[in-house]
Structure 1
Amino acid sequence: MPQHSICVFCGSRSGQNPKYEAVAKWLGTMIAERGWQLVYGAGDVGLMGAVANATQDAGGDTFGVIPEHLVRWEVGKTDLTSYVVTENMHERKKVMFMNSHAIVVLPGGAGSLDEFFEVLTWRQLQLHEKPILLANIDGYWDPLIGLLDHVIAEGFADASVKAFVQVVDDEAALEAALVDALS
C-alpha cells in the first residue's frame, strides 16, 4: 500500500492547450516516482487517460473509480492496480475522496467542476481537512477563481472558503504543495 494517495480530478477530454496533457503526464509520473498512488476516475481518455498511463508507465499504483453508466463513454481502464465500478456519480466521488489524502484538480469540464465543488463544500462544512490543490495551468482556472471571489464579495460565502483551496500555477508549485501538505 502506497504511503499517500492523490485524488486527481480532470477532464475526460484533453482540451485545446497541449500543456494540459503534458502536465497530466508529468503529474502521473511524479506520483509514481514518489511512491504515491493515483486515485482517479478510471477513464482511459483525455487527461484522465494521460495521468493514469503516465503513472503506470512509471511503475506506480493506480486506483480507478467509474460509475457503471460511464464504463463505455469514458472507456473504463480495467488494467489498473484497483478498478472499482460504482452505481452512480455520487458514489464515485465518495469512493475517490475516501481513498485519498489530497485532491488535485487539473483542467476539466462540468464533471471536474462538480467534483471540485463537492470536496470544497465538504471542506467548508468541516467534513474533512484534506488539501485541495487547483492546478491553474496557463490560467485555465482564472474564471473559477474569479467566481469564488465574486461569491465571497456578494456575501454568499465567507472569505475562508478561498483559503480551503491552494492555487498552483505550474508543476514545481504543485509538487512542492503536495509534498508540504503530505508531510
Structure 2
Amino acid sequence: MKERKEEKKEKKDLRIEKTEKAIKNAFIELRAKKALEKISVKELCELACINKSTFYSHYCDIYALSDTMEQETVSSIISSISHIEDYSFQNSDAFTRAACLAFLSQISLIRILFSGKQQNHLGDRLDAEMKKVIFKKYPEYGNDAEKNILLSYCIQGTYHAFLNNPDVDTDTFVRTVERIVKYLQPMAE
C-alpha cells in the first residue's frame, strides 16, 4: 500500500515537473519574441498546451513566472562558480574571472529573460546574491559601507560594461574586468 502511494506521488511529481517545463519553455519562446508586458497568460497556455487554471496553480501571473525564472538563472550563475567559498579579497581577480565565465555560460537565457525593461534586474539580483555569498564568508563586511560600495561597483560595473560592449570577445572582456578588479583590490584590504 505504501509503495502505491509513493508511486502515485512520483507520477504526480513527474506531471508537475513536465507542466513546469512546458510553462517555462513556452515563456522563453514568447519572451524571445516580445516584451514581458505583452505576453498574455492565454497565449502562454496555448503554447504550453495547458489550461489557465493549471498555469494559475503554479504562478499568480506572468510577472511571478518571470521573477521565478530570473531568480533561478541568477542562482544557476552563482552555483556554477566553482569553489565560490574559497575566494577572498586577496584573489578577487580570480573570483571575477570565475563569475564572468559563470555569467557568460548563461548568456543566451540572460539575453531573453533580462531584455527590455528587465535589463537592470540582473545586475541588481547578481549584486544581492553575490553579496549574500560573500557576507556568509565575511559577515563583518555586511555592515562595512566601503566594502558594500566596492562590491556593488565591481558587480554592477561588470554587468553594465558587458551590456555596453556586446561586440568585445569573451577573453578581452574577462581579462579587462579582471585587471580592473585587481587594481581595486587594495581598497578591499
TM-score scaled by length of structure 2: 0.29
Tell me which protein shows more helix as a share of its residues: 2
TM-score scaled by length of structure 1: 0.29
Structure of greater Rg? 2
